[in-house]
Structure 1
Amino acid sequence: MRKMWNRRGMCRLAMAVAVAVATGLGAPAAQAQGDGPLVFAAASLKNALDAANTAYAASGGAKATITYAASSALAKQIEAGAPADIFISADEDWMDYLAGKGLIQTTTRHDLLGNRLVLVAAADAKTSVEIKPGFALDQALDAAQKGGRLAVGDPAAVPAGKYAKAALTKLGAWDKVQDRLAPAENVRAALALVARGEAPLGIVYATDAAAEPGVRIVATFPADSHAPILYPIALAKDSVSAQAQAFLEFLASPKARPLFEAQGFTVLSAK
């Protein structure tokens, strides 16, 4: 029995590495331990979920193996057969996508967290922008860096990019900047472009900005300029980990709440 579980664990870890390489994030953030669950989570969750994972292991649970990437990339990997136990998306669309394919346990699905959308610049930048209808984001880009581009998650698939496009469209700024984007594979990659000075401005989540000392928040987008930023969580249909349900419940428990709140998330479900 031990040999069978070891073989299964090795296969699951190998698949996690393959997923991480395919999505450009390198090796998984945590190594498999026993029958701890394999979690596929939106890149913006990394700091908070790593902390929750450590706390769960300290309380006696089997530490999860967590792979971080864009929700779109992870959903496609699950569709392709990657053996995830838990999926945490940065929007409802990609969870709906898997639900439509019959690939999640719908009775376990709920909204775990909320977030805010912000405009960021390098920490030492003097950029000042007031986000309002008709605001001249293109002029702000040029003022910060002539011909500079706006770092965003790819609006075609990445949730943060989709929220950014929706907000800019509603505020009347999209048409002037849509050809000046620096689209990234996930929101953390967009954040890095600004932190490294490769883009003068970027649109990310407030929690990402808080986790990166190389950037500062220039302004926050009005909540009514885009759909609510929600992080649904669910067990994958073919989950085989005996610890998956327990880890999912821990993330929604009062013990995990301060770990998410410390990173700036709004906790939507705490049992």
Structure 2
Amino acid sequence: MKKTRITMALIGLAAMALTACGGGKAPETTAAPTTAEVTTEATTAAEETKAEAVEAQTVTIAAAASLEKSFTEKLIPMFEEKFPGITIEGTYDSSGKLQTQIEEGAPVDLFFSAATKQMDALDEKGMIAEGTKKNLLENKIVFIVTTGEEGNYSAFEDIKNAETIALGDPESVPVGQYSKEALTNLNLWDEVSAKTSFGTNVTEVLNWVSEGSAKAGIVYATDAAQKPDQVVVVAEAPEGSVSKAIYPVGIIKDSPNPEGAQKFAEFLQSDEAMKVFTDGGFVAAE
């Protein structure tokens, strides 16, 4: 009997000790987060950080008229979806006009010219932010006629046979400068210019030919591709007759929105943006 009482007492003491130490109930544990949960949280955090990092702003670009379709239809919507805090507003005209507007103080953040001449002029005046100028695209110079007229021509030089001709103004329109260069080198400038109407930008030249008010003209290949049913490309400017049509991009030194301008400039150099350009007929500048 005495031995039984001692054993029962020891069992009781052991039970009390276990209860005091929590041994009477297994400690509760919190399940470790799954890989999917960790990934989701990390992605959400990254998106929130990105959104906070982009301050709401409107970036103004001044771009050659031949770039308008690529920008308005695809590139700007793509960029604004990627950076919802930044709005892009574009002005599209001849590069010479845009250069003048920038020189006169227009609040432009980024300039995209259809020729190096205008960009270099601004750069020489210290108006382009250091290290931001880049030759991005190349275009081709082509002789076009109104659809239905193509049977009368077979070579670039045949433009001299057209009754009425449309060219860009070589004083301010890059495509006009390229046109004059090519025709001068082919000894055709005097003959052709005598029956030419000069447009204020390449879009105007394209419209005159597509509408038939001019039977022939010289534009960029990318512009001709916009109206395949209304104009026909007869030929490219002969090799060696004209300089390469290079499109440089640069950020204005006194840009009101340098952060947004930098992001947009970087986006224009991305693979996804370059695909839009090449789909539109441009090629990457070498």
> 1:115 and 2:132 equivalent?
no
| Residue correspondence of structure 1 range 260-271 to structure 2 within 5 A | 260-268=277-285
Displacement, 1:39?
A: 0.1
The percentage of counterpart residues that share the same residue type is 36
More off after superposition, 148-157 vs 224-233: 148-157
> 1:190 and 2:205 equivalent?
yes
Is the Cα–Cα contact under 8 Å of residues 127 and 218 in structure 1 kept in the other structure?
Answer: no
Change in Cα spacing, 1:128 to 1:34, as seen in structure 2 (3 Å) is farther
| Residue correspondence of structure 1 range 69-80 to structure 2 within 5 A | 69-80=93-104
CA distance in 2, matches of 1:36, 1:66: 10
CA distance in 2, matches of 1:53, 1:230: 21
Match of 1:253 among 261, 270, 276: 270
RMSD, aligned α-carbons: 1.7
Displacement, 1:222?
A: 2.0
Change in Cα spacing, 1:243 to 1:40, as seen in structure 2 (3 Å) is same
Number of residue pairs the alignment of both structures matches: 228
Give the residue type in structure 2 aligned to 1:203. Answer: I
Is the Cα–Cα contact under 8 Å of residues 151 and 184 in structure 1 kept in the other structure?
Answer: yes
CA distance in 1, matches of 2:80, 2:202: 27
Is the Cα–Cα contact under 8 Å of residues 121 and 127 in structure 1 kept in the other structure?
Answer: no
* Counterpart position of 1:150: 165
CA distance in 1, matches of 2:158, 2:247: 30
Is the Cα–Cα contact under 8 Å of residues 163 and 227 in structure 1 kept in the other structure?
Answer: yes
* Counterpart position of 2:246: 230
> 1:83 and 2:99 equivalent?
no
CA distance in 1, matches of 2:56, 2:231: 38
| SS, match of residue 105 in structure 1 | coil
* Counterpart position of 2:25: none
Give the residue type in structure 1 aligned to 2:196. Answer: L
Question: TM-score normalised to the size of structure 2?
Answer: 0.76
4+ residue segments displaced more than 3 Å: none
| SS, match of residue 130 in structure 1 | coil
Q: Larger Cα Rg: Structure 1 or Structure 2?
A: 2
* Counterpart position of 1:5: none
Runs (5+) with no aligned partner, structure 1: 1-32, 142-147
